[in-house]
């Protein structure tokens, strides 16, 4: 097998990271519907990278950790865009536990899917602000509409 083929899954992982971060940026800038399409594309990349790694015989611990780290980065970005600061803390804690060796391998539940589902729920309920996440979190903490 060509050595370049073993890099394809990691490239797809990084493309998924880019799509996830772009989706979070769109949420933060008041484009929730476009954000959901871009986040959905990121989810497809996230599913595809593991399949490609198995298909090309490129499964590795570093690839799994790269995938996990990208998933956590997307989850944190979406939580920040939505103003859900508790989600940021949880994702950071899970990331620290994984990299510190407390868990032997990255968990199968990364937080990316949860963040995307939360974004979908916020859009469906009309809770995504056009003004940005900071203003939204301040309004929620003050009890303002």
Can you give the pLDDT at residue 137? 46
CA–CA gap between residue 11 and residue 45 (Å, rounded): 10
Sign (positive or negative) of CA dihedral 33, 36, 40, 45:
positive
- pLDDT tens for the chain, 145 residues long, are 566 888 899 999 999 999 999 999 998 888 888 988 999 899 899 889 989 999 998 899 888 888 888 888 888 888 888 777 666 666 666 666 665 555 544 444 455 666 666 666 666 666 555 444 444 444 444 444 4
Can you give the pLDDT at residue 93? 67
Number of domains the chain is built from = 1
- If DSSP codes are grouped into helix, strand and coil, which group holds residue 109? coil
Can you give the pLDDT at residue 117? 66
Can you give the pLDDT at residue 140? 42
CA–CA gap between residue 26 and residue 36 (Å, rounded): 9
Q: Which domain holds residue 111?
A: 3-142
Can you give the pLDDT at residue 74? 87
Q: Which residue from 64, 62, 61, 32 is spatially nearest to 46, judged by alpha carbons?
A: 64
Can you give the pLDDT at residue 143? 42
Can you give the pLDDT at residue 87? 63
């Amino acid at each position: 097998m060509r050595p370049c083929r073993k890099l394809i899954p990691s490239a797809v992982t990084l493309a998924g990271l880019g799509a996830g971060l772009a989706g979070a940026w769109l949420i933060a800038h008041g484009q929730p519907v476009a954000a959901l399409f871009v986040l959905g594309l990121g989810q497809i990349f996230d599913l595809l990278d593991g399949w490609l790694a198995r298909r090309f015989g490129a499964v590795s611990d570093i690839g799994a950790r790269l995938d996990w780290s990208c998933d956590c980065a997307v989850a944190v970005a979406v939580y920040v865009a939505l103003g859900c600061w508790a989600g940021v803390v949880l994702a950071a804690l899970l990331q620290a536990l994984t990299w510190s060796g407390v868990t032997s391998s990255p968990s199968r539940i990364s937080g990316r899917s949860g963040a995307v589902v939360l974004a979908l729920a916020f859009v469906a309920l009309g809770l995504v602000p056009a003004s940005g996440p900071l203003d939204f979190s301040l309004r929620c903490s003050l009890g303002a509409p």
